[in-house]
Amino acid sequence: MAKTKSKQLKVTLIRSPFGCLPRHRDCVRGLGLRRMHHSVVVDDTSQIRGLIGKISYLLRVEEN
């Protein structure tokens, strides 16, 4: 049985969450981003899309 490769997104923090709402900082940490220009690869799920949509002004998103 072959595993299907799920779509993934590369998310990069391009603006500092300093001065943002605490919920937005929590979203940044929830995505696994630790510092400016840090990138992570995450699965493309509706939950992740919700986090990205909430803090889209802080991020750069690319499809992998």
**How buried is residue 6: exposed, middle or buried, by Cβ count under 10 Å (0-12/13-18/19+)?**
exposed
**Statement: residue 4 has pLDDT above 80:** no
Domains, the chain, ordered by start: 8-63 (3.30.1390.20)
Model's pTM, two decimal places? 0.86
The whole-number pLDDT of residue 17 equals 95
At 37-64, the pLDDT tens digits run 999 999 999 999 999 999 999 999 999 8
DSSP per-residue letters across 2-54 = PPPPPPEEEEEE-S--TTS-HHHHHHHHHTT--STT-EEEEE--HHHHHHHHH
